[in-house]
Protein backbone atom coordinates (compact mmCIF):
# COMPACT_ATOMS: atom_id res chain seq x y z
CA UNK A 1 0.00 0.00 0.00
CA UNK A 2 2.79 2.42 0.90
CA UNK A 3 4.69 1.64 -2.28
CA UNK A 4 1.59 2.06 -4.41
CA UNK A 5 0.78 5.47 -2.96
CA UNK A 6 4.28 6.92 -2.80
CA UNK A 7 5.13 5.66 -6.30
CA UNK A 8 2.61 8.18 -7.62
CA UNK A 9 4.85 10.93 -6.28
CA UNK A 10 8.31 9.42 -6.71
CA UNK A 11 9.32 7.32 -9.69
CA UNK A 12 12.39 6.64 -11.79
CA UNK A 13 11.63 9.65 -14.03
CA UNK A 14 11.44 12.38 -11.39
CA UNK A 15 13.42 11.04 -8.38
CA UNK A 16 17.20 10.81 -8.88
CA UNK A 17 17.58 9.10 -5.50
CA UNK A 18 15.93 5.98 -6.98
CA UNK A 19 18.85 5.55 -9.42
CA UNK A 20 16.51 4.55 -12.23
CA UNK A 21 14.52 2.00 -10.23
CA UNK A 22 10.94 1.91 -9.01
CA UNK A 23 10.14 3.06 -5.50
CA UNK A 24 9.95 -0.56 -4.28
CA UNK A 25 13.77 -0.69 -4.32
CA UNK A 26 13.90 2.28 -1.95
CA UNK A 27 11.30 0.79 0.39
CA UNK A 28 12.54 -2.80 0.72
CA UNK A 29 15.42 -1.96 3.14
CA UNK A 30 12.87 -0.43 5.53
CA UNK A 31 10.76 -3.58 5.24
CA UNK A 32 13.85 -5.67 6.03
CA UNK A 33 14.53 -3.74 9.25
CA UNK A 34 10.86 -4.00 10.21
CA UNK A 35 10.78 -7.74 9.51
CA UNK A 36 13.76 -8.76 11.66
CA UNK A 37 13.15 -6.40 14.57
CA UNK A 38 10.94 -8.52 16.80
CA UNK A 39 10.52 -9.37 20.47
CA UNK A 40 10.24 -13.10 19.70
CA UNK A 41 13.36 -14.07 21.61
CA UNK A 42 12.40 -12.04 24.67
CA UNK A 43 8.85 -13.37 24.62
CA UNK A 44 10.07 -16.97 24.44
CA UNK A 45 12.42 -16.30 27.34
CA UNK A 46 9.80 -14.67 29.56
CA UNK A 47 7.38 -17.50 28.76
CA UNK A 48 9.99 -19.99 30.01
CA UNK A 49 10.34 -17.89 33.16
CA UNK A 50 6.57 -17.77 33.66
CA UNK A 51 6.21 -21.55 33.22
CA UNK A 52 9.12 -22.37 35.52
CA UNK A 53 11.19 -23.99 32.76
CA UNK A 54 13.81 -21.24 33.02
CA UNK A 55 14.60 -22.25 36.63
CA UNK A 56 15.38 -25.75 35.37
CA UNK A 57 17.78 -24.31 32.82
CA UNK A 58 19.55 -22.35 35.55
CA UNK A 59 20.34 -25.52 37.53
CA UNK A 60 21.21 -27.61 34.46
CA UNK A 61 24.92 -28.43 33.87
CA UNK A 62 25.33 -25.83 31.13
CA UNK A 63 26.92 -22.41 30.93
CA UNK A 64 24.37 -19.74 31.70
CA UNK A 65 25.59 -17.64 28.82
CA UNK A 66 24.35 -20.29 26.39
CA UNK A 67 20.78 -19.53 27.49
CA UNK A 68 21.09 -16.06 25.99
CA UNK A 69 23.50 -16.83 23.16
CA UNK A 70 21.50 -19.86 22.05
CA UNK A 71 18.40 -17.76 21.58
CA UNK A 72 20.40 -15.15 19.68
CA UNK A 73 21.67 -17.89 17.37
CA UNK A 74 18.07 -18.91 16.75
CA UNK A 75 17.21 -15.27 16.02
CA UNK A 76 20.03 -15.17 13.47
CA UNK A 77 18.68 -18.21 11.63
CA UNK A 78 15.16 -16.79 11.77
CA UNK A 79 16.48 -13.45 10.49
CA UNK A 80 18.20 -15.15 7.55
CA UNK A 81 14.94 -16.83 6.53
CA UNK A 82 12.83 -13.69 7.00
CA UNK A 83 15.18 -11.33 5.19
CA UNK A 84 15.61 -13.80 2.32
CA UNK A 85 11.83 -13.87 1.92
CA UNK A 86 11.60 -10.06 1.92
CA UNK A 87 14.37 -9.77 -0.68
CA UNK A 88 12.67 -12.34 -2.91
CA UNK A 89 9.38 -10.45 -2.62
CA UNK A 90 11.18 -7.24 -3.54
CA UNK A 91 12.65 -8.90 -6.61
CA UNK A 92 9.21 -10.20 -7.54
CA UNK A 93 7.88 -6.62 -7.40
CA UNK A 94 10.58 -5.39 -9.77
CA UNK A 95 13.48 -4.46 -7.50
CA UNK A 96 16.98 -4.85 -8.90
CA UNK A 97 20.01 -5.24 -6.63
CA UNK A 98 22.79 -3.04 -7.99
CA UNK A 99 25.45 -4.92 -6.04
CA UNK A 100 24.51 -8.24 -7.62
CA UNK A 101 24.33 -11.66 -6.03
CA UNK A 102 27.11 -10.88 -3.57
CA UNK A 103 25.27 -7.77 -2.47
CA UNK A 104 22.05 -9.74 -2.04
CA UNK A 105 23.85 -12.18 0.26
CA UNK A 106 25.33 -9.26 2.23
CA UNK A 107 21.89 -7.65 2.54
CA UNK A 108 20.48 -10.85 4.04
CA UNK A 109 23.42 -11.25 6.43
CA UNK A 110 23.35 -7.63 7.63
CA UNK A 111 19.59 -7.76 8.13
CA UNK A 112 19.84 -10.98 10.14
CA UNK A 113 22.64 -9.52 12.26
CA UNK A 114 20.55 -6.44 12.97
CA UNK A 115 17.76 -8.77 14.12
CA UNK A 116 20.22 -10.39 16.54
CA UNK A 117 21.33 -6.99 17.83
CA UNK A 118 17.75 -5.85 18.35
CA UNK A 119 16.80 -9.09 20.12
CA UNK A 120 18.98 -8.00 23.05
CA UNK A 121 16.34 -5.41 23.98
CA UNK A 122 13.63 -8.04 24.45
CA UNK A 123 15.91 -10.44 26.29
CA UNK A 124 17.16 -7.80 28.70
CA UNK A 125 13.62 -6.61 29.47
CA UNK A 126 12.45 -10.22 29.90
CA UNK A 127 15.21 -11.02 32.39
CA UNK A 128 14.73 -7.77 34.29
CA UNK A 129 10.94 -7.63 34.49
CA UNK A 130 9.95 -11.31 34.13
CA UNK A 131 6.69 -9.94 32.75
CA UNK A 132 5.10 -10.99 29.45
CA UNK A 133 3.19 -7.74 28.91
CA UNK A 134 6.23 -5.55 29.52
CA UNK A 135 8.42 -7.66 27.26
CA UNK A 136 5.79 -7.64 24.52
CA UNK A 137 5.68 -3.85 24.73
CA UNK A 138 9.45 -3.58 24.19
CA UNK A 139 8.79 -2.78 20.51
CA UNK A 140 7.74 0.68 21.72
CA UNK A 141 11.44 1.42 22.23
CA UNK A 142 12.15 0.71 18.57
CA UNK A 143 8.98 1.85 16.82
CA UNK A 144 9.61 5.62 17.11
CA UNK A 145 13.22 5.13 16.00
CA UNK A 146 12.11 3.56 12.73
CA UNK A 147 10.03 6.60 11.80
CA UNK A 148 12.82 9.00 12.71
CA UNK A 149 14.76 7.74 9.69
CA UNK A 150 14.95 8.45 5.96
CA UNK A 151 12.36 5.72 5.45
CA UNK A 152 10.22 7.40 2.78
CA UNK A 153 12.69 9.90 1.34
CA UNK A 154 16.47 10.46 1.63
CA UNK A 155 18.03 12.73 4.27
CA UNK A 156 18.18 15.75 1.96
CA UNK A 157 14.41 15.80 1.40
CA UNK A 158 13.53 15.70 5.09
CA UNK A 159 12.45 18.94 6.75
CA UNK A 160 14.02 20.14 9.98
CA UNK A 161 14.05 19.07 12.76
CA UNK A 162 13.24 15.67 11.26
CA UNK A 163 16.46 15.69 9.24
CA UNK A 164 18.65 16.26 12.30
CA UNK A 165 16.80 13.63 14.32
CA UNK A 166 17.20 11.14 11.48
CA UNK A 167 20.92 11.82 11.21
CA UNK A 168 21.53 11.14 14.91
CA UNK A 169 19.37 8.02 14.88
CA UNK A 170 21.60 4.92 14.48
CA UNK A 171 18.80 2.94 12.82
CA UNK A 172 19.02 5.36 9.87
CA UNK A 173 22.47 4.04 9.03
CA UNK A 174 21.31 0.44 9.05
CA UNK A 175 18.62 1.33 6.51
CA UNK A 176 21.01 3.47 4.45
CA UNK A 177 23.61 0.70 4.32
CA UNK A 178 21.08 -1.84 3.07
CA UNK A 179 19.63 0.70 0.66
CA UNK A 180 23.00 1.53 -0.86
CA UNK A 181 23.52 -2.14 -1.71
CA UNK A 182 20.17 -2.19 -3.51
CA UNK A 183 20.39 1.13 -5.36
CA UNK A 184 24.08 1.96 -5.84
CA UNK A 185 26.28 -1.08 -5.33
CA UNK A 186 29.11 -1.49 -2.85
CA UNK A 187 29.36 1.94 -1.21
CA UNK A 188 31.97 1.19 1.44
CA UNK A 189 31.21 4.19 3.68
CA UNK A 190 27.51 3.29 3.93
CA UNK A 191 28.22 -0.41 4.46
CA UNK A 192 30.83 0.36 7.13
CA UNK A 193 28.43 2.68 8.99
CA UNK A 194 25.69 0.04 8.83
CA UNK A 195 28.01 -2.68 10.13
CA UNK A 196 29.38 -0.42 12.88
CA UNK A 197 25.88 0.34 14.19
CA UNK A 198 24.99 -3.35 14.16
CA UNK A 199 28.17 -4.41 15.95
CA UNK A 200 28.03 -1.68 18.60
CA UNK A 201 24.30 -2.15 19.23
CA UNK A 202 24.65 -5.91 19.30
CA UNK A 203 27.60 -5.84 21.67
CA UNK A 204 25.99 -3.39 24.10
CA UNK A 205 22.60 -5.13 24.15
CA UNK A 206 24.10 -8.62 24.43
CA UNK A 207 26.28 -7.50 27.34
CA UNK A 208 23.20 -6.03 29.03
CA UNK A 209 21.36 -9.33 28.51
CA UNK A 210 24.23 -11.34 29.97
CA UNK A 211 24.51 -8.96 32.92
CA UNK A 212 20.77 -9.26 33.57
CA UNK A 213 21.17 -13.03 33.49
CA UNK A 214 24.10 -12.92 35.89
CA UNK A 215 22.04 -10.82 38.34
CA UNK A 216 18.87 -12.88 37.85
CA UNK A 217 19.13 -14.72 41.19
CA UNK A 218 19.65 -11.45 43.05
CA UNK A 219 16.73 -9.57 41.49
- 64-68, 147-151, 184-188 — which one is most confidently predicted on average? 184-188
The reported pLDDT for the residue numbered 4 is 67
Give the pLDDT mean for 33-56: 86
Residue 6 reports pLDDT greater than 80: no
Structure-model confidence comparison of residues 100 and 144, the more confident one: 100
- 58-62, 156-160, 196-200 — which one is most confidently predicted on average? 196-200
pLDDT tens string 177-190: 999 999 999 999 99
Structure-model confidence comparison of residues 19 and 7, the more confident one: 19
pLDDT tens string 78-134: 999 999 999 999 999 999 999 999 999 999 999 999 999 999 888 999 888 888 888
The reported pLDDT for the residue numbered 7 is 72
Q: How many residues does the chain have?
A: 219
Give the pLDDT mean for 193-219: 90
Give the pLDDT mean for 29-38: 91
**Least trusted range by pLDDT, from 16-30, 146-160, 167-181:** 146-160
Please report, for residues 59, 122, 172, 206, the alpha-carbon distance to residue 37 in angstroms, rounded to integers and kept in the order given: 31, 10, 14, 15
Domain assignments of the chain as residue spans, ordered by start:
23-218
The reported pLDDT for the residue numbered 215 is 85
Q: How confident is the model at residue 198 (pLDDT cuts 50, 70, 90)?
A: very high
Do residues 176 and 193 make contact, with C-beta atoms less than 8 angstroms apart?
yes
Amino acid sequence: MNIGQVSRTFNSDNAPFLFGQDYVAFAVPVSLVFAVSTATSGLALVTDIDLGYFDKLLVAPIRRTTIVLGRLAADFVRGLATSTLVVLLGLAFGMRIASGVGGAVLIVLLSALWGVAYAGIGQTIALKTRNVQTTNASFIIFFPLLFLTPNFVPFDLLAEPMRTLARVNPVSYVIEGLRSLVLEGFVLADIAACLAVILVSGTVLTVLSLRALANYDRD
